[in-house]
Structure 1
Amino acid sequence: MTDAPITAFGPDFTFAFDDWITHPDGLGQVPADQHGQEVAVIGAGMAGVVTAYELMKLGLKPVIYESGKFGGRLRSETFEGTEDVIAELGGMRFPISSTGFYHYVDKLGVQSRPFPNPLSAAAGSTVIDLEGKPLYAESLDDLPALFREVADAYDQALEDGARFSDLQAAIGRRDANAVKEIWNPIVKGWDERSFYDFVAQSDAFRKLSFRHREVFGQVGFGTGGWDSDFPNSMLEILRVNALRLDDDQRYMVGGVESVPRGLWSHAPERIVHWPQGTTLEKLHSGAPLPGVVRIHRDGEGDFEVTDRWGRTKRYGAVVATCQSWLLTTAMDVDERLLSQDMWMALDRTRYMQSSKTFVMVDRPFWRDRDPQTNRETMSVTLTDRMTRGTYLFENGPDKPAVICLTYSWMSDALKMAPLPVEQRVDLALAALSKIYPGVDIGRHIIGNPITVSWENDPNFLGAFKGALPGHYRYNHRMYGHFMQDDMPAEQRGLFLAGDGISWTPAWVEGAVQTALNAVWGVMHHFGGQSHPSNPGPGEAYPQMGPIDLGD
């Protein structure tokens, strides 16, 4: 390990995005004769709003299209009858290593607090329930030795297989060459390895029993069980570990949706072309345009973008931040705008299912302690039952609180997919009653429950990408698409962004970083350039970009 703070620096593209966006000389400039040029931005999630915000600062006019709810998968839903009691339906925990994202959080003054992850101080207590045997713990040391053996085995597997301490030390000191020296050989050797294969074949776990691997899948490390990710590429998981995305996570007070909404209405301190006080909200007269149904080129080379109500506008550039499948399932996109290799990569993207169900309760009753055992009444809970993860959120000792009754993935999420919200709550309460037989959760519930199944939402078709072994080349194509100088003219000007094309799917930092790549791409497309004292991702990419495995 290293004492230097770990941030989301690389490891595939070793570029300091946080330094680029905080540099006093700014991101760059576009020629004055391009000021006011309209750029279509498809999607009002974090990637779309960051793209639009930074393009506006450069003097361009972003035009955001949104087919669903503003905020994308940063979706904070308020319980009926309240102003600030919320359910985080999408992203809800944000590691402090996501320094690009926190740049905007801090700019907006959004407050955060530690997320109540299992075995964390914020949780207070944790119950791990496996095979009908609940275990109560307030720290890892309170659990049987088997759990420490599992944690130690995974740490050792990472050290043996990935020079993990050296890799994190290089990331911490932002030594781009050292990161590449360790990471690139791992990519070559691990592209076709699954997470489960890495665990099962590691010397550290082979010395242990199947039971150890089973517990690792059910309970995992950091935020909970990882068996839903066992089929995924090990590279996907190693990035999470190396960049500390599963550690030191925080919860946005008032809901994370306040970040994209805050940027929507925020007037930048420095802005070109537009008068001081200009905001995205003002440029849009208060609301984004409806969802896009068609993207083609006109006879003069501009993009024709048509929304769901038939209005067509022309643009010099387009940034698509939506889920990749929507470019073929929800829109008529001229195939010539992307190479067939790129279409292959976009269509082969694998999205993971996810389900959450929340209830509001009268108070954080779980903090009550049993007078005989001194244990809390209820705890953050990890289980092999269908609820999988149960999380507890409080707003003060005597204020309404929130329980995420069930947070599940893949097959566990699919069990919930066809069920109405009331039945989801009933099933979750039935499962939890077996773990807490003396606790009547139902009598504390107030208001109506809130639920989501991301795979059922036609604007998403899944929660986030989960790359399979062998998908590295697809990700390489999508991520590097903002570098367009070598592309045929008919393929230039359409840029991709969003966590789904990033190297860190499901983490908002990937959305921010790919948005900034797209900003550089649009700036370059319009004849602009980075400031000489602050080179951008396009200048760094030829030397520090992801390794190309070829065909």
Structure 2
Amino acid sequence: MTPRTPDAVTVFGPDFPFAYDDWLTAPEGVGSIPPEHHGAEVAIVGGGLSGLVAAHELLRLGLKPVVYEGARLGGRLRSEHFGGPDGPVAEMGGMRFPISSSTFFHYVRTLGLATAPFPNPLTPASRSTVVDLEGETFYATSLDDLPDLFREVADAWDGALDRILHLGGLQAAIRRRDTGALKAIWDALVPLWDDRSFYDFVATSEEFQALSFRHREVFGQVGFGTGGWDSDFANSMLEILRVVVTNCDSDQHLIRGGADQVPRGLWSRRVDDAAHWPEGTSVESLNGGSPRGSVTGIHRVRDSAGTATDRIAVTDESGETREYPAVLATCQSWLLTTQIACDEELFSQKMWMALDRTRYMQSSKTFVMVDRPFWNDVDPATGRHVMSMTLTDRLTRGTYLFEEGPEDPAVICLTYSWMSDALKMLPHPAERRMELALEALSHIYPGLDIRSHIVGDPITVSWEDDVHFLGAFKGALPGHYRYNHRMYSHFVQQAMPPEERGLFIAGDDVSFTPAWAEGAVQTSLNSVWGIMAHFGGSSPATNPGPGDLFDELGPIRLPD
């Protein structure tokens, strides 16, 4: 990936249009803390992308990040390798990263990782796509190969977005990084659409009302960009608009060798420009080579008289308790009430409401390794590929094909499903999930013996069944904007009562763009600024940080 070009659409807002990529790369740096605080420990609860971005940047500021992780480093960037560390990859979590994620790709470039276009439907990377609906199968290499119905759906979607939600104007402002124009449009849309769902938008728009129910049904099954979106129909329309206005659902790349190389690379990367620490210091070296175990408690430290101090105690699964002047929790917010015993006073009651009302979406994937990318074989009778990237209303929903070389072992994501479709898989072990997927695909490709190419055992995941996650990612419902605002704004703590300061939160579920790595990175950088300010530090006047511009550019506040 090359650095972003001028006038590119990036994840620049729209709620908080702060240029994180520019802040990170400015020659004067992101800021500094007073030397008397150099070497101070900061607890990082969670070793996923957000936690390790923060750990990396706090190290550079001269602080000592102490990482706690109950599962394994990487979080929901979980890359499983078939047949050993050099084998083909099954991405169990995040697998496709829009090039508009300019801050995330700053770290990809810093680590020297290679990327490739993701094989989404109807893109050159997928070569061909099969859409199978109600037992009817269509083969296509572009939208023009599909029946007029699909073009009508796409045109209705594009037209409604621009007419009702000013998509063109929003993207023009993002391209120019014109914060005034962007906020003028977006801040007017928030109160109009916070209470309305994605399906409400589709069903009530003039563009879709002029068509049939079948058009709306096809839109839900096949969708736009990455595939069907009916599992998101209940979500707030604001959340969907953020995805399309920032091009998160188009021009996506995968990370060659596995997405978990990003957080793991930040864990092990030796830093030569850190304050206080010697050249070659890494987060890994400061943590003695491995993170501490999962966190079971977070409490405010009290003195012998019972008076609250400015320190926070973190207890891990071994029973050991350590005290810190600051703690960053990057775990999913539900864990703060289900897995971790937290003092109530650490958050306001309104914040607890927001953390508990976060709604997580279910997600299931099942992968198999195959002997070679046989799907590139051409059927002599039809002149078509024998198998393609597949979108269907059957149990599999989305089937993706990944390859390296023409004769190398390859990977099929047999099924990628959400919400109720994912719950259908939840009770079943990996072998049964594979059998169910193969049965569904046999109706779409009746003459193809997929099973004969499978090598080894399937790999599967249901994120809602994992005690460390309890779901794949946040899916905000109508009326959740206020909750999101509270969580996102929490890093600016100067006006908070003393008992609520020092505990920070970050992660994609704290962001306004859940499910996207960029949201995890941006909220992590918010927390870095907040922790820097907590230690009495600041950003340079010539390179102000997110907290410095929050009053000017921050998200619009809706009345309670």
Taking structure 2 as the reference length, what is the TM-score of the superposition? 0.97
Q: 2:546 aligns with which of 502, 520, 537?
A: 537
- SS at structure 2 position matched to 1:500: coil
- Structure 2: how far apart are the matches of 1:270 and 1:27? 12
Secondary structure of the 1:539 match is coil
Q: Is structure 2 residue 187 aligned with structure 1 residue 184?
A: yes
Question: Is residue 128 from structure 1 mapped to residue 131 from structure 2 by the alignment?
Answer: yes
Of residues 352, 357, 368, the one that matches 1:343 is 352
Is 1:513 aligned to residue 522 of structure 2?
yes
Is 1:287 equivalent to 2:296 in the alignment?
A: no
- Equivalent residue number for residue 392 of structure 1: 401
* 1:195 aligned residue (190, 193, 198): 198
Q: Is the 8 A contact 2:47 2:74 kept in 1?
A: yes
Picking from 93, 113, 118, the partner of 2:116 is: 113
Structure 1 residue 532: Cα displacement: 1.6
Instruction: For 2:66 and 2:361, locate their aligned partners in 1 and report how far apart those are by CA, in whole Å.
Output: 30
Question: CA 1:375 to 1:459, structure 2 compared with 1: closer, same or farther past 3 Å?
Answer: same
- The counterpart of 1:174, out of the listed 164, 174, 177, is 177
Say if 2:365 and 2:415, in contact at 8 Å, map to a contact too: yes
Structure 1: how far apart are the matches of 2:7 and 2:201?
A: 28
Instruction: Give the aligned partner of residue 452 of structure 2.
Output: 443
- Mapped contact 2:272–2:281 kept (Cα < 8 A): no
Cα offset, 1:188, TM superposition? 1.1
Q: Secondary structure at the match of 2:124?
A: coil
Identity of aligned residues (%): 65
Deviation per CA, 1:294-332: give whole Å up to 9, x if none.
011112331110000011111000000000000000011
Listed one character per residue, the Cα deviations across residues 461-488 of structure 1 (whole Å, up to 9, x for unaligned) are 0000000000000000000000111110
**Mapping of residues 450-461 of structure 1, within 5 Å:** 450-461=459-470
Shift in Å, 1:268: 2.3
CA distance in 2, matches of 1:173, 1:46: 29
Q: Secondary structure at the match of 2:238?
A: helix
Cross-structure match for 2:66: 63
Q: Does 1:220 align with 2:223?
A: yes
Aligned to 1:243: 246
Separation in structure 1 between the aligned mates of residue 113 and residue 86 of structure 2, nearest angstrom: 16
Q: Which of 507, 514, 517 lines up with 1:498 in the alignment?
A: 507
Residues 425-482 of structure 1, C-alpha deviations (whole Å, 9 max, x = no match) = 0000000000000000000000111000000000000000000000000000000000
Distance, in Å, in 2 between the alignment partners of 1:358 and 1:273 is 45
Q: Which runs of 4 or more aligned residues in structure 1 lie more than 6 Å from their structure 2 counterparts after TM superposition?
A: none
Kept in 2, the 8 Å contact 1:80–1:448? The answer is no
How far apart, CA to CA, are the structure 2 residues paired with 1:359 and 1:466?
28
Q: Which residue is 1:39 aligned to?
A: 42
Aligned-partner residue type, residue 250 of structure 1:
H
TM-score (norm: length of structure 1): 0.99
Q: Which runs of 5+ in 2 are unaligned?
A: 303-308
Contact residue 51 and residue 518 of structure 1 kept, 8 A: yes
| Structure 2: distance between partners of 1:281 and 1:295 | 23
Q: Counterpart amino acid of 1:177?
A: G
In 2, Cα distance between the equivalents of 1:460 and 1:82?
24
Where in structure 1 are there 5+ consecutive unaligned residues?
none
Cα separation, 2, equivalents of 1:58 and 1:87: 35
Distance 1:445 1:543 in 2: 56
Deviation at 1:80, TM superposition (A): 3.0
Give how far 1:3 is off: 9.2
In structure 2, the residue matched to 1:253 is: 256
1:45-73 CA distances to partner (integer Å, 9 max, x unpaired)?
Answer: 00000000000000000001001121000
Quick one: which of 331, 334, 339 aligns to 1:330? 339
Match of 2:488 among 465, 479, 482: 479
Deviations 1:347-388 (A, max 9, x none): 000000000000000000000001121100100000000100
Give the secondary structure class of the aligned counterpart of 1:411.
helix
Residues 263-289 of structure 1: CA deviation (Å, up to 9, x unaligned): 111112411000000001100111000
* Superposition RMSD in Å: 0.9
